[in-house]
Amino acid sequence: MAVSVAKQGYHLGHGEVDDHHDTVIYNETRDMRLLGFVLFLCADVILFSSFIFAYIYLRTTVSPVWPPIMDGKQLPRLDVAFACFNSVVLFGSGVTMHFAMEGWRHAKRGMFNLFMGLTIVLGAGFLAGQGYEYMHAKIGGWSGSIFGASFFTLTGMHGFHVFVGVCYLIVLWWQTSRSVYTTDRYFGLTAGTLYWHFVDVIWVALFFLFYLW
Amino acid sequence: MATLAPGVKTGPYHAVLDHIHPEPTSFIRRYIFSIDAKVIGIQYMITGGLFFLIAGLLAEIIRAQLMSPTGAVVTPATYNAIYSMHGSAMVWMVIIPLVSGAFGNFVMPLQIGARDVAFPWLNLAAFWMFPVAGIILFSSFLVGAPDAGWTEYPPISLQGPPGTSLWCIAIFLVGVSSTLTGINFAVTMLKMRAPGMTFTRMPLFVWAQLATSPLLFVATTALGAALAALFIERTFGVPFYDPAHGGSPVLWQHMFWFYSHPAVYIMILPVFGIISEVLPTFSKKPIFGYKMVAFSTVSIALLGFTVWAHHMFTSGMVPWLQLPFMILTMLIAIPTGVKIFSWMATLWGGSIDWKTPMLFATAFLITFTCGGLTGFFLAAVPADYHEHGSYFVVAHFHYVLYGGSVMGLFAGFYYWWPKITGKMYNETLGQLHFWITFIAFNGTFMPMHWLGLMGMPRRVAIYDPQYTFWNQFASISSFILALSMLIFLYNMLIWTFRHGKPAGPNPWGGRTLEWMISSPPPYYNYKKIPAVLAAPYDFGNPLPYIGLDAAPGAVEATPTAESHPVPTH
Amino acid sequence: MAQRVVKPKTNLGPGFWPITALIVVVSAIMIYFTATSPWPVGLIPAGEPAPATDSLFRFLGCVAAFIFNVVVIYTIYFGIVFRRPKDAPPHHIGVQIHDAPVLEFWWTVIPTILIIILAIFSVKIWDDLQNTQGDVLTVEAIGYQFGFQFRYPKLANVVSGELHLPVNTPTTVQITSRDVIHGFWLPEFRVKADMVPGLITTIRITPLQTGTFRIVCSEFCGVAHGAMHGTVVVQSQADFAKWFKAQGATGTSATGGAAGAAVAVSSGSASAGQALFQSKCTACHSTGEFSQKIVGPGLGHIFNDPAHPKLVNGAAPTPANVAKLIHDGYTGDIGTMPSATVNAINNTDIANLTAYLVSLSKK
């Protein structure tokens, strides 16, 4: 079969071969995989942007008031205070992720493990917080109004992405314990970091759109 | 001559090309779950071709119904499902997969001197989503097929038959396939070109695929969002589009058309690339205005994102918004015109060999121009107030989709069939297919311009008797068009394999890389990755490529210890 | 490798200039006929904005004809004149020219200028349409599955199934829908707007001649979309005033029959009823068995179907009850059957229709 470039790079990146020629190969495949992953994130941005457009359109053009009226009464706004707290949790996990990668790059395993663990815990904590928010938000449920429709759909998609991200980080952490990555070959960790920061950036937008605006 | 000049950029990708893994031996790994882009390309051709025949049959039922103003071939309810499925299948299960998945997979890696695409396993996964999605789509006939057109506007699509939900799932799935393919192709073309193949030495087919790939992964996700919202509204009552629950039908139109307008550029840009390959090869001269053609291709792809609301001029959108969309839509005519004139200038002064691919490519110039001109009629808002929702629109898009995409695909099939199969098709049958197609196509769709302007709406199972004559004319022409497909199928699928002469590596005397190796190509494409020294289409120059029949001292890829003995070329 | 260079006198190919002249002549002829024809031929311009839109069509047509000729004629000409000669050696190639910047400049600039001109013309007509005075008369148009209803705001309780308009009067039509998206298209006026539930869209027209014109539903709306038509009746100011007054006086369609007056069923004419059935009822009803549904059931045995002993409203199937059902209309699960007012039929029409249905059941 014709060469499978990414697979080749995967083997190389997993410390299976070690010489200069293979470093060149690794760097090239890493660049390809990085580009592919970035393009995937671009597509994901469009997915969120489409629903964000729908929310903005419904809120500004269709509904006469916001929050909209359901069953004759205007719905309440969402609770900003709790969401602030939960946002700090999520953004904090972005900070800890950054430090985890710093630790990795400087071969400080202890630092990496501590901050990676914190990132996963904070990510899971954010999901728990969202669960709490879903139970306590009194905006008529998912199908009650366009408020619920846009809020639960968008934050639900985001929460699903966070969930996948937490799982991905757990898998990556486990892989580091099996010495899959080295201090100069760690594309999987790069992808994980990028994905985690992407999830953070989306939340910035959603927090602004649903809680502050 | 056989070495890279000092300082010539080798391009980003060389070291990884060394490896040639052994070819798999089991039937399943060779032909069913293959990661060879060429096999995947053929699989797309077979699947897309099959869906084309089904969707074409649906079209013939439409035309049979419209033979009479009070047609009773099918009930109106069935008719609505048939034209909706015809449109949905043709757009998502035929044209998009054929132009991207089929030709993009088979031809593009060959043309950039690569062994495969960047992510072959992703390619395999993306392909298999396609027949599954098609089966889901067609299975909707069993539960009540979607019946509100390929555009499925709410509120009527919210009340539609259960098949509408299957339609959402099927199109979403094939959209995921498209998105992954777009990412795969983009990385391939940006990172895996052979040494020396700078952007200005890329064949224009590759430029076209490169311009199309962001459309595939950016636009398609927008459609995914719209489909997901429609699905959850139908299934769980989550209000986005139903005005009775605070939603907006116009929101669907914005979300749908934001994808579906770039989608039409997905359907035509790779075909522009095919034309740019066929015309130089059969005129034996370079494409005229290579840089402007490449630049126009990219401009059209970008501008294509900005014009979606020209499908919504009568929808109730705020009037002032109509103006920028009208102007931007008209602007797209400029790069398109540049390409048409460049192609015509490619014919000028040529040594033209009128083989079947050339006939289709040249006829494309005429029929696509027709479609483009009627597009301009639709872009002018006051004219669109009359034309929207009428048979004028049906005429326009069939001219660009059949007269454009399908004729271009025929050109591509005839052109690359010898490379894919290793055998020549029957040229006489090809020419016969061409002439019948060209005449019958115009007979089918030209009258529809008139029908539309005279007041015949689209998506109707019955019509006012004043339109009878031209509907019958169109229907009979369409039956002839359908029959002409039989000639094509017989020629390509039966005659070629029974009687076709061996094609050899380069039956047409082409100048792009795929013609430098055997037909069909070996599974590894290039034994030694070529280094590219000059632009394609330079028929006046000596062979510009090295590495294939490398002279001593030339830049060569070195097999590593891991690779098995490489078969002789 | 030998290169063949084209060396005709003008260096552009044999016959290039004559072909160019041909393109100019053919274009001039086509432009002349396009500019001076009523366009679209055969579809009368019944009122504004048709004349303005038709002038835009003619202009677009002229430019399109020219570009079409340039592309088609040159392409065919090049294709013939630059064929490879039959006796050409295998390495015979064409002129190895890559580009010609000056030519490319002009073939970009000239179409750009043409497009700018077309855009300016289109914008001007668009602007005229937006700013058209249309408020002398305002009518509401409501689409439903599968017909059109019109309300005149000054006659709040009158609903008409036909759009009556006085000639030469700028009219605003405010458009919406009761159920799904429909299209409100007046081909003879060259204008349409979607009928969107939850939204009001607007068109402005000024009828310029009296007569009867079509309304066509132009947006897919369900199973009887193809049968969804309406009528615009443009009358003289005096006739319109009479019709308008009659609406207000009786509160029903001016074609006669006060609300509630008994329908003289027995005096109906089946043949007149048959003609009326064809034009008003076949969109939704067949004359076959009950099960031969289009939208509503087949009416062939409405009076003597043992499987269906009651009408849809629960009444017994007598001619009087059927006449009342036609008069009142009915709204149910599958849609709305328009009332007599909306259908613009009077009591005589109802009697005729009933007589026709009676004759069907007797067969």
Please write the tens of the pLDDT for every residue from B34-46. Answer: 999 999 999 999 9
Tens of pLDDT, residue by residue over A156-198, are 999 999 999 999 999 999 999 998 898 888 999 999 999 999 9
Helix H segments across B144-248?
163-191, 204-214, 220-236
Give how far the C-alpha of residue B496 lies from the chain's centroid of Cα atoms, to the nearest Å.
Answer: 24
> What are φ and ψ of residue B400, in 5° steps?
-80, -30
Higher pLDDT, B516 or B346: B346
Residue B265: what pLDDT? 97
In a mutagenesis test of the B interface, which of C27, C92, C108, C219 is the best target, namely the one with the most B β-carbons within 10 Å? C219
Q: pLDDT at position C193, please?
A: 96
DSSP, collapsed to helix, strand or coil, labels residue C332 as strand
User: Measured between alpha carbons, how far is A120 from A126 in angstroms, rounded to an integer?
Assistant: 10
* pTM, full prediction: 0.88
Collect all residues of chain A within an 8 Å Cβ-Cβ radius of residue B255: 50, 53-54
Distance, in Å, from the CA atom of B64 to the CA atom of B476, rounded to the nearest integer, reads 9
C-alpha B457/C-alpha C219 separation (Å) is 8
Residue B462 exposure: Cα atoms within 13 Å on the Cβ side:
19
DSSP label at B305?
A: G
Is pLDDT above 80 for B561?
no
Which residues are registered as beta bridge partners of C149?
A: C142
The two three-digit tokens of residue B20, written as one number? 């040639």
Percent pLDDT > 70 in chain A is 90
DSSP, collapsed to helix, strand or coil, labels residue C4 as coil
> What percentage of chain B carries pLDDT values higher than 90?
83
Question: CB-based contacts of A173: which residues, under 8 Å, 6+ apart?
Answer: A113, A116, A117, A120
Give the separation between CA B183 and CA B219, rounded to whole angstroms.
12
Size of interface B-C (CB pairs under 8 A): 260
Q: Which amino acid is at B517?
A: I
Cα Rg of chain A, angstroms: 21
Q: What is the pLDDT of residue A3?
A: 43
Residues of B in contact with C87 (CB under 8 A): none
- Find all residues with CB under 8 Å of B329, minimum gap 6, and list them: B307, B310, B375, B379
Q: How far apart are CA B196 and CA B11, in angstroms?
A: 6
Contacting residues of B for C82, CB less than 8 Å apart: 283, 347-352
Q: Is the dihedral of CA A137, A142, A148, A150 positive or negative?
A: positive
Structural element, H or E, at residue C66: helix C50-81
H/E element, B414: helix B407-421
Q: Where are the domains of chain B?
A: 14-563
Per-residue pLDDT tens over the stretch B518-534: 989 998 888 888 888 88
Sheet with C147-151, strands from edge to edge, namely C47-48, C201-207, C171-177, C137-144, C147-151, C159-160
What share of residues in chain C are helix, strand, coil (percent, to 5)?
40, 20, 40
Cα gap C221→C216, rounded to integer Å: 12
The sign of the torsion formed by the CA atoms of B448, B442, C37, C124 equals positive
Q: Report d(CA C309, CA C77) in Å as an integer.
A: 74
Which distant-in-sequence residues (6+ apart) come within 8 Å of B359 by Cβ? B430, B431, B434
Determine the pLDDT at residue B15: 46
Per CB-CB distance under 8 Å, the chain A contacts of B116 are 2-5
**Do residues B272 and B322 lie in contact, with contact meaning Cβ atoms separated by under 8 Å?**
no
Q: What is the pLDDT of residue B560?
A: 29
The H or E element containing residue B261 is helix B249-283
- C13 contacts B344? CB cut-off 8 A: no
Q: B415 to chain C nearest CA, in Å?
A: 18
- Round the CA-based radius of gyration of chain B to a whole number and report it: 24
Q: What is the ipTM of this complex?
A: 0.91
Give the span between the Cα atoms of A93 and A116, in whole angstroms: 9
Tell me phi and psi for residue B416, to 5 degrees. Answer: -100, 0
Q: Which of B315, B388, B455 sits opposite C214 (nearest CB)?
A: B455
User: In the predicted model, what is the mean pLDDT of residues B453-479?
Assistant: 96
Supply the mean pLDDT for chain A.
90
DSSP-derived secondary structure for B346-375: HHTT--B---HHHHHHHHHHHHHHHHHHHH
pLDDT value of residue B196: 85
SS3 (DSSP) at B113:
coil
Question: Which one, of C177, C202, A148, lies nearest residue B244 by Cα?
Answer: C177
Closest CA to B258 of B209, B318, B325: B325
Q: Which of B20, B191, B317, B560 to mutate to test the interface with A (most CBs of A within 10 A)?
A: B191
> What is the number of alpha carbons within 13 Å of residue C71 lying toward its C-beta?
26
What does the pLDDT average to over B434-457?
Answer: 97
3-class state of residue C19 by DSSP: helix
What's the CA gap between C91 and C277, in Å, rounded? 75
Contacts of residue C126 in chain B, CB cutoff 8 Å?
A: 322-323, 326, 381-382
Q: Report how far residue B154's alpha carbon sits from residue B250's, in angstroms, rounded to the nearest whole number.
A: 9
Beta partners for C232? C163, C213
Provide the token pair at C53: 């839109």
**pLDDT at site C263:** 59
**Burial (CB count within 10 angstroms: exposed 0-12, middle 13-18, buried 19+), residue C232:** buried
Cα separation, C340 vs C347, whole angstroms: 8
- To the nearest 10°, report the CA torsion of B515, B518, B520, B524: -100
From the list C88, C2, C96, C100, the residue with the least C-alpha distance to B511 is C96
Cα A40 from Cα C104, distance rounded (Å): 38
Rounded distance between C-alpha atoms, residue B521 and residue B535, angstroms: 22
The pair of structure tokens assigned to B165 is 């939900």
Peptide bond into A67 cis (omega under 30): yes
Average pLDDT rounded to a whole number, residues B480-495:
97
Low-confidence spans in chain C with pLDDT less than 50: 1-2, 7-10, 251-261
Contacts 24+ apart (CB under 8 A), B441-444: B441/B367, B441/B402, B441/B403, B441/B407, B441/B477, B441/B481, B442/B367, B442/B477, B443/B473, B443/B474, B443/B476, B443/B477, B443/B480, B443/B481, B444/B63, B444/B398, B444/B474, B444/B475, B444/B477, B444/B478, B444/B481
Cβ of A35 and B248 within 8 Å?
A: no
Contacts of C183 (CB under 8 A, 6+ apart): B314, B388, B389, B457, C192, C193, C194, C195, C216, C217, C218, C219, C221
Average pLDDT in chain B = 91
pLDDT at residue B16, rounded to an integer: 47
Instruction: Find the CB nearest C96 among B290, B373, B539.
Output: B539
CB burial of residue B292 (10 Å; 0-12, 13-18, 19+): buried
Q: Per the structure block, which two tokens stand in for B202?
A: 């890329």
Rounded to an integer, the average pLDDT of B445-454 is 96
Partnered with residue C163 across adjacent β-strands are C232
Q: Give how far the C-alpha of residue B476 lies from the chain's centroid of Cα atoms, to the nearest Å.
A: 27
Q: Which of A3, A50, A53 sits opposite B20 (nearest CB)?
A: A3
Q: What pLDDT shows up at residue C262?
A: 54
Query: Which residues does chain C have within 8 Å of residue B383's beta carbon, measured at their own beta carbons?
Result: 53, 56-57, 60, 122
For the stretch B387-445, pLDDT in tens is 999 999 999 999 999 999 999 999 999 999 999 999 999 999 999 999 999 999 999 99
Q: Which amino acid is at B509?
A: G
Q: Tell me the domains of chain A and their CATH numbers.
A: 46-212 (1.20.120.80)
Dihedral sign (CA C153, C158, C163, C168): negative
Rounded to the nearest angstrom, the minimum Cα separation between C152 and chain B is: 21
The answer to whether residues B103 and B270 touch, using CB atoms and an 8 Å cutoff, is: yes
* Bridge-based pairing state of the strands C171-177 and C137-144: parallel
| Domain with residues B14-563, CATH architecture | Up-down Bundle (1.20)
Please list the residues that pair with B545 across neighbouring strands.
B532
For B246, the closest of A1, A31, A146 (CB atoms) is A146
pLDDT above 70 (res A106):
yes
Give A57-88 pLDDT, tens digit per residue: 999 998 889 999 888 889 999 999 999 999 99
CA–CA dist B383, B379 (Å, integer):
8
In angstroms, the CA B177 to CA B91 distance is 14
